[in-house]
């Protein structure tokens, strides 16, 4: 049976833009429920400055929780610089994500760095901390709010520099949800031709409703690793009410219906959605959980 | 340039389940705006009993409006029986859609008829009214709320009977939005192999967020005609807040980004969404229109 790999990013990408403080025990409850639902890989938090992202000020506690309670789960944490990466490792993190935007304009706006500065930072993390596995998330691969079109050649050139530092896995992110299926196929084909040695995950936002269509396009090119957020949390902070990440439950539902295994129990995942709905005062744009009542009225096993 | 054919069903499928009366001049304003946006084919109303669907009691006025103001637009109307079809023709309709559910259970629940009764009705319409072009909408092709799985062989068998009565075009409908892309490809492949002479439109609901992914799958099988509703109106009446039809603007956005022409102006289509938002007290689940502000903040021409 075919299978896909889901990395649930609810606790990092999903939570980071929520203004109201989410108590640490709600966060760990969500993580526990995700693991109980069969999620084997997740992004748990980010070691950013608590001034910049107060919501994730409990990053060390979260990593400690994952390391002690769920040592078998592949726990990823984001770190924007060497200091964050050091703190992450000290807290017990074994996998660190580091973000660079392919668009220089976006890299400047997002993390106030040139590409050269970002690559220097990345090299310093790799030098200082040889132990954690580093994945580099390449942002704005499919379009940039400032630069518009982003040539695939730019993505490949940046990924080549990243790979030359020893990084073996990257995330190609549609940061603002503007990718279309034809573009996804083209970018992935070119990317694999240039850098066949890199493991690739896709981070496809659902801002314009194309999240699942883009996921389908990626699978048709042979890419089966995706980052999603339960409830469809997170994503774009600029448009209130707009969809953010592709919802984990929407993705799992589609994959299972297509006969593609994820190892995740969809009913248990809906319990996570319920917890999010009960504890967060933000809309959950995912489709499947809203239609669930109808779904039960109807049938599930197509 | 590749192109796709969009039949906008806002004024029928979108409006029919809305409880509050929509004044006829709001309906005609929406239709005028759709035409102004470049929509060349639309489903305008339904000649059902005003007792069953009071919202569409002004069907004759709507058809008359389309016939006099927009004679060049391909206007489809739904008719559930000979009486409705007669009224439609009398009002000036040239294209009639007639619905039969592939699932016998759903046909019984939806229109209280056996397949044999439905086919007899259809034959009576074709006999009595040779002039209008009849399209048969085959409902529940991809799953039924009562029967569960619907074998493609049942769809083919019913379509063969429909074709034997002289019908040349059918709609394959995912009535409850449970189709998945793999299933769409399989059903379409089998359907075309069995009935290559029939023109086929797809009516793919977005209930579980798979509308655009299923559209992509259909295009990959060579099917480029779709029914969608502006704002994502309509669809399933059983789950409040759930998505209904795939939103016309979401579909047009994806198609245009993929380099597939629709003849529709997306900015003008968003004016229709605005009119709907101003005049109807129902949620519009379409994605693109909500993210529009962000979209403008960013860029459009990818």
- Contact across the interface for B176 and A294, Cβ inside 8 Å: yes
The continuous run of DSSP H or E covering B201 comes out as: strand B199-204
- Nearest CB to A181; choose among B146, B148, B216: B216
Interface test with A, best of B286, B294, B296, B301 (most A CBs within 10 A): B294
Q: Looking at chain B, which residue has its C-alpha nearest residue A220?
A: B217
pLDDT at position A296, please? 44
Bridge partners of A42? A8, A75
- Contact across the interface for B182 and A257, Cβ inside 8 Å: yes
Q: How far apart are CA A209 and CA A243, in angstroms?
A: 8
Q: Residue B301: exposed, middle, or buried by beta-carbon count in 10 A (0-12, 13-18, 19+)?
A: exposed
Nearest to B153 by CA among B195, B106, B121: B195
pLDDT at position A126, please? 97
- Contact across the interface for A212 and B215, Cβ inside 8 Å: no
- How close does chain B come to A247, measured CA to CA in Å? 9
Averaged pLDDT of chain A? 93
- Helices B181-194 and B152-164: crossing angle in degrees, nearest 10, is 40
> Region A102-127: what's the mean pLDDT?
95
A110: confidence class by pLDDT, cuts 50, 70, 90: confident
- Contact across the interface for A182 and B259, Cβ inside 8 Å: yes
Percent of chain A's residues with pLDDT above 90: 84
CA dihedral of A200, A203, A206, A210, whole degrees rounded to 10: -10
Nearest to B65 by CA among B30, B40, B18, B16: B30
What does the pLDDT profile of chain B (302 residues) look like in tens digits?
799 999 999 999 999 989 999 999 999 999 999 999 999 999 999 999 999 899 999 999 999 999 999 999 999 999 999 999 999 999 999 999 999 999 999 999 888 999 999 999 999 999 999 888 999 999 999 998 888 899 999 999 999 999 999 999 999 999 888 999 999 999 999 999 999 999 999 999 999 999 999 999 999 999 999 999 999 998 665 556 677 899 999 999 999 999 999 999 999 999 999 999 999 999 899 999 988 544 444 333 32
Q: How far apart are CA B53 and CA B63, in angstroms?
A: 16
* Eight-class DSSP state of A261: B
- Please report how many Cα atoms fall inside a 13 Å half-sphere around the Cα of residue A157, on the Cβ side: 11
- Nearest CB to A213; choose among B146, B213, B290: B213
Nearest to A206 by CA among A171, A240, A181, A242: A242
> Region A266-276: what's the mean pLDDT?
96
Write the CA distances from B111 to B59, B79, B84, B101, B145, integer angstroms. Answer: 19, 12, 13, 9, 15
Q: How far apart are CA A235 and CA A286, in angstroms?
A: 12
Q: How far apart are CA B203 and CA B227, in angstroms?
A: 5
The two structure tokens encoding residue B38? 């470049």
First to last CA, chain B: 17
- Contact across the interface for A149 and B298, Cβ inside 8 Å: no
Q: Are A154 and A107 in contact (CB under 8 A)?
A: no
pLDDT at position A176, please? 86
What values do phi and psi take at B5, rounded to 5?
-110, 120
B290 contacts in A (CB within 8 Å)? 239, 241-243
The two structure tokens encoding residue B234? 């309509």
- Evaluate if residue A53 carries a pLDDT over 60: yes
Q: How many CB atoms lie within 10 A of CB A45?
A: 32
B37, B85, B119, B236: the active-site residue: B236
Q: How far apart are CA A275 and CA A30, in angstroms?
A: 7
ipTM for the whole complex: 0.94
Q: Looking at chain A, which residue has its C-alpha nearest residue B294?
A: A239
Give residue A236's Cα distance to chain centre: 13
pLDDT at position B239, please? 57
pLDDT at position B296, please? 43
- The residue written with tokens 């490792």 in the block is A89
* Eight-class DSSP state of A11: I
pLDDT at position B216, please? 98
- Among A32-41, A85-94, A293-302, B273-282, the range scoring the smallest mean pLDDT is A293-302
- Contact across the interface for A288 and B209, Cβ inside 8 Å: yes
Q: What is the pLDDT of residues A192-228, one digit of tens each?
A: 999 999 999 999 999 999 999 999 999 999 999 999 9
Nearest to A119 by CA among A157, A174, A76: A157
Q: Looking at chain A, which residue has its C-alpha nearest residue B232?
A: A209
* Eight-class DSSP state of A93: -
pLDDT at position A17, please? 87
A23: confidence class by pLDDT, cuts 50, 70, 90: very high
Interface test with B, best of A209, A218, A240 (most B CBs within 10 A): A209
- Nearest CB to B302; choose among A143, A209, A239: A143
- Please report how many Cα atoms fall inside a 13 Å half-sphere around the Cα of residue A154, on the Cβ side: 18
- Contact across the interface for B298 and A176, Cβ inside 8 Å: yes
Q: How far apart are CA A236 and CA A144, in angstroms?
A: 12
Number of residues that make up chain B: 302
- The residue written with tokens 């637009």 in the block is B73
Active site residues of A: 236
Nearest to A217 by CA among B208, B207, B79, B257: B257
pLDDT at position A297, please? 40
pLDDT at position A25, please? 98
């Amino acid at each position: 049976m075919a299978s896909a790999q889901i990395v649930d990013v609810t606790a990092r990408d999903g939570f980071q833009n929520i203004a109201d403080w989410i108590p640490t025990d709600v966060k760990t409850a969500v993580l526990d429920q995700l693991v109980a639902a069969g999620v084997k890989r997740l992004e748990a938090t980010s070691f950013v400055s608590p001034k910049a992202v107060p919501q994730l000020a409990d990053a060390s506690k979260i990593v400690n929780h994952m390391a002690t309670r769920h040592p078998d789960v592949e726990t990823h944490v984001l770190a924007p610089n060497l200091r964050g990466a050091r703190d992450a490792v000290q807290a017990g993190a074994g996998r660190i994500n580091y973000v660079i935007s392919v668009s220089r304009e976006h890299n400047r706006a997002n993390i106030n760095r040139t590409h050269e500065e970002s690559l220097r930072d990345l090299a310093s993390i790799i030098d200082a901390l040889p132990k954690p596995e580093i994945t580099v998330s390449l942002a704005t691969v499919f379009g940039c709010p400032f630069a518009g079109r982003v040539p695939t050649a730019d993505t490949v050139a940046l990924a080549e520099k990243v790979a030359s530092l020893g990084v073996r896995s990257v995330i190609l992110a549609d940061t603002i949800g503007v990718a279309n299926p034809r573009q996804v196929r083209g970018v992935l084909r070119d990317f694999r031709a240039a850098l066949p040695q890199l493991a690739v995950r896709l981070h496809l936002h659902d801002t314009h409703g194309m999240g699942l269509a883009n996921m389908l396009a990626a699978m048709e090119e042979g890419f089966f690793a995706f980052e999603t957020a339960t409830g469809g949390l997170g994503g774009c902070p600029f448009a209130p009410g707009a969809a953010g990440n592709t919802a984990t439950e929407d993705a799992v539902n589609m994959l299972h219906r297509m006969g593609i295994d994820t190892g995740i129990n969809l009913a248990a995942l809906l319990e996570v959605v319920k917890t999010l709905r009960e504890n967060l005062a933000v809309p959950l744009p995912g489709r499947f959980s809203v239609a669930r009542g109808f779904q039960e009225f109807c049938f599930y096993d197509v």
